[in-house]
């Protein structure tokens, strides 16, 4: 579920992997500025804040 939410935010050639438990790592292309990194991080957090529905139950 986490990968499904975060993968669309990544560009071509970038990847997302689960390290274990609730830890993930994203391998991304170099960003041009800290602001771009902060924007990507915010988009990822926003994607994870949305409720998750599993078998008609919202988590």
Q: For the segment 13-31, what is each residue's pLDDT rounded down to a tens digit? A: 999 999 998 899 999 999 9
Split into its structural domains, the chain has a count of 1
21 φ/ψ sector (left φ>0, alpha ψ -120 to 50, else beta) = left
Residue range(s) defining the domain that contains residue 33 = 2-58
9 in Cβ contact with 44 (< 8 Å)? yes
Task: Report the percentage of the chain scoring pLDDT > 90.
Answer: 71
């Amino acid at each position: 579920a986490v990968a499904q939410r975060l993968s669309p935010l990544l560009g071509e050639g970038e990847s997302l992997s689960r390290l274990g438990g609730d830890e993930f790592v994203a391998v991304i292309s170099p960003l041009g500025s800290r602001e771009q990194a902060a924007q990507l991080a915010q988009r990822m957090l926003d994607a994870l804040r949305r409720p998750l529905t599993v078998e008609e139950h919202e988590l």
